[in-house]
Structure 1
Amino acid sequence: MVNLPSDHRLTEVALPPAERPATDLAAREGADVAAPQAPISGPDPLDDPDALRAGDAAAMETLLRAYVRETGTEVPATGQALLLNLSASQLTLLVPVRYRSATGWHRFDGPRLVTAGDGGSLPADAALVAAALIRETTLGRGVLPHHGGDAAARVLNSARRTTTHIARRRAEGEDAQGPTPFLDSEQALLLGHPFHPAPKSREEASDAELDAYSPELRGSFPLHWFAAHPDVVVGESADGRTPAELLRPLAAGLDLPDGMVPVPAHPWQARDVLSRPQVAALVDAGRLRPLGAAGPAWYPTSSVRTVQRPDAEVMLKLSLGMRITNSRRNNLRSEMRLGVRAAQLLAAGPGDWLRAEHPEFGILRDFAWVSVGTDGPETGLETAIRDNPFRREGLQGLCVAGLLAERTGPGDDTPPRHRALLCAAVERAARALGVSTADASERWLTRYLDVLAVPLIRLQARYGIALEPHHQNTLVALDGDGLPCAGWYRDSQGYYLAASRTADIERLLPGATEGVELVFDDTFVDERVAYYLGINNLLGLVGAFGALGLADEGGLLRVLRSALERLRTAEPAGKGLLDLLLDAPVLRCKGNYLTCVDGLDELVGDVHTQSVYVNLSNPLTEAQR
Structure 2
Amino acid sequence: MERVEHMPPSDDVAERADAYAAAPLLNCLIREVAQPHPEPGGRRVYRLPGGGRLLRVRGGRRPAEPEVHADGAWHRVDHTELVKLVADELRRHTGLSNDELPAEMIDSRDAVAALLAARARTVPPEDPYLRSEQSLVTGHPYHPAPKARGGGPVAAWLPYAPEAHTRFPLVLLGVREDLVVEEGDTSALDTLGQAPPGYRLLPAHPWQLDLAGRDLAEAFADGRLVRLGRTAFDVWPTAAIRTVHAPGADLFLKFSLDVRITNDVRRLWRHDLLKLRRTDTAAVAAFADLGGPAAWLSDRGYRTAAFAFEELAVVVRDGLRGHVRPGATPLLAAALVEGFDGSPLDGPADAAVWWEAYLRQVVPPVLGAFARHGVVLEAHLQNSLVAVDPDGIPVQALFRDAEGVKLLPEVSRAAGWERLVYCLVVNHLAEVGAALAERRPGLDPWPAARRELARHDLPEITGLLTAPTLPGKTNLLLRWLGADGADARYLPLPNPLVSA
TM-score (norm 1): 0.73
Alignment correspondent of 2:400 = 490
CA distance in 1, matches of 2:399, 2:224: 37
Worse overlay, 71-80 or 214-223 = 71-80
CA distance in 2, matches of 1:550, 1:79: 24
SS in structure 2 at match of 1:317? strand
Which AA in structure 2 matches 1:595?
L
Counterpart selection for 2:479 from 578, 589, 596: 596
Distance 1:64 1:332 in 2: 32
- 2-structure distance, mates of 1:180, 1:248: 27
**1:431-474 residue CA offsets vs partner (Å, 9 max, x unmatched):** xxxxxxxxx22212211111111121122112222211000000
Letter in 1 for 2:377: L
1:526 aligns with 2:417: yes
SS at match of 1:274: helix
Report deviation, 1:85.
Answer: 4.9
Structure 1 distance, partners of 2:117, 2:296, is 36
Residue type matched to 1:56 in 2? D
Residue identity matched to 2:205: H
Verify: 1:97 aligned to 2:58, yes or no: yes
Match 1:248 to one of 177, 185, 190: 190
Alignment map for 1:323-472 (pairs within 5 Å): 323-346=260-283, 349-354=285-290, 357-358=291-292, 360-373=293-306, 378-390=309-321, 395-406=328-339, 420=340, 424-430=343-349, 440-472=350-382
Deviations 1:242-266 (A, max 9, x none): x4x3312012xx5x32221111111
Q: In the alignment, which residue of structure 2 is the partner of 1:15?
A: none
Helix, strand or coil at the partner of 2:114: helix
The residue aligned with 2:454 is 565
- What is the alpha-carbon distance in structure 2 between the residues aligned to residue 485 and residue 402 of structure 1? 17
Alpha-carbon distance in structure 2 between the residues aligned to 1:565 and 1:303? 32
Check conservation: 1:135, 1:148, Cα contact below 8 A.
Answer: no
For structure 2, which runs of at least 5 residues remain unmatched after alignment?
A: 1-9
Amino acid at match of 1:67: L
Question: Is 1:583 the equivalent of 2:466?
Answer: yes
Q: Cα offset for 1:87? A: 7.1
- CA contact 1:336–1:492 (8 Å) conserved in 2: no
Aligned equivalents of 1:211, 1:460: Cα separation in 2: 39
Q: Distance in 1 between matches of 2:319 and 2:44?
A: 46
Secondary structure class of the residue paired with 2:357: helix
- Read off the aligned partner of 1:342 and give its amino acid letter: T
By how many angstroms is 1:401 displaced? 0.3
User: 3-state SS of the aligned residue for 2:198?
Assistant: coil
- Aligned-partner Cα distance in 2 for 1:78–1:199: 32
Contact 1:205 1:322 in 2 (8 A): no
TM-score calculated relative to the size of structure 2? 0.90
Distance in 2 between residues matched to 1:591 and 1:346, nearest whole Å = 27
- 1:355-380 residue CA offsets vs partner (Å, 9 max, x unmatched): xx21x210001111000016xx8340
The whole-number CA distance in structure 2 between the counterparts of 1:615 and 1:285 is: 56
Measure, in 1, the Cα distance between the counterparts of 2:463 and 2:441.
26
User: Contact (CA 8 Å) 1:182, 1:390: kept in 2 or not?
Assistant: no
Distance in 1, matches of 2:181 and 2:220, equals: 16
Find out whether 1:109 has 2:64 as its counterpart. yes
Residue 550 (1) aligns with residue 460 (2) = no
Cα deviation for residue 421 of structure 1 reads 5.2
Q: 1:352 to 1:612 in 2, by over 3 A?
A: closer
For 1:141 and 1:323, how far apart are their aligned partners in 2? 23
CA contact (8 A) 1:317 1:383 kept: yes
CA drift at 1:49: 7.4
Contact conserved, 1:220 with 1:300, CA < 8 A, in 2?
A: yes
CA-to-partner distance for each residue in 1:535-559, whole Å, 9 max, x for gaps?
A: 111122222223x332446x21111
Cα deviation for residue 300 of structure 1 reads 0.6
Question: Unaligned 5+ residue runs, structure 1?
Answer: 1-47, 100-105, 407-419, 431-439, 500-518, 604-609
Q: Is 1:124 equivalent to 2:14 in the alignment? A: no
* 2:459 match: secondary structure: helix
CA drift at 1:209: 2.9
User: What is the aligned partner in structure 1 of residue 179 from structure 2?
Assistant: 232
Change (3 A) 1:121 1:493: same
Distance 1:81 1:346, change over 3 A: closer
1:78 Cα shift? 10
Letter matched to residue 429 of structure 1: P
* Number of residue equivalences: 489
Mapped pair 1:80 → 2:21: no
CA distance in 2, matches of 1:98, 1:75: 16
Q: Offset at 1:141?
A: 1.4
In 2, are the aligned partners of 1:78 and 1:98 still within 8 Å (CA)? no
Contact 1:86 1:132 in 2 (8 A): no
Q: 1:98 to 1:272 in 2, by over 3 A?
A: closer
Structure 1 residue 72: Cα displacement: 5.7
Structure 1 residue 615 and structure 2 residue 498: aligned?
no
How far apart in 2 are the matches of 1:482 and 1:397?
10
- 1:151 is aligned to 101
Tell me the residue number matched to 2:113: 163
Q: Structure 2 vs 1, CA of residues 88 and 73 (structure 1 numbering), >3 Å: closer, same or farther?
A: closer
| Equivalence for 1:607 | none
Distance in 2 separating the partners of 1:327 and 1:396:
31
Change (3 A) 1:247 1:80: same
Assess, with a 3 A threshold, how the Cα gap between structure 1 residues 128 and 84 changes in structure 2: closer, same or farther.
farther
| 443 and 77 in structure 1: CA distance in 2 versus 1, 3 angstrom threshold | farther
- The alignment status of 1:199 with 2:146, answered yes or no, reads yes
1:55 and 2:5 correspond:
no
Q: Are the counterparts in 2 of residues 315 and 388 from structure 1 also a CA contact under 8 Å?
A: yes
Summarize the Cα distance change of 1:496–1:539 in structure 2 as closer, same or farther, 3 Å threshold.
Answer: same
CA distance in 2, matches of 1:96, 1:497: 41
The letter for the 2-side match of 1:268 is: W
Cα displacement (A) at 1:179: 4.1
SS across alignment from 1:320 = coil
- Structure 1 residues 526-578: Cα deviation after superposition (integer angstroms, max 9, x where no partner): 111011112111122222223x332446x2111111221122xxx2xx222x2
User: Secondary structure of 2:240's partner?
Assistant: coil
User: 2:172 is matched by which residue type in structure 1?
Assistant: W
1:184 to 131, 135, 138: 131
CA deviation after TM superposition for structure 1 residue 204, in Å: 4.2
Equivalence for 1:275 = 214
> For residues 127 and 521 of structure 1, do their structure 2 counterparts lie closer, same or farther at Cα, with a shift above 3 Å needed?
same
Counterpart in 2 of 1:538? 429
Amino acid at match of 1:156: I
Instruction: Give the 5 Å matches for 1:502-517.
Output: none
Identity rate, percent? 29
Counterpart-to-counterpart distance in 2, 1:462 and 1:561: 21
Q: CA RMSD in A?
A: 2.6
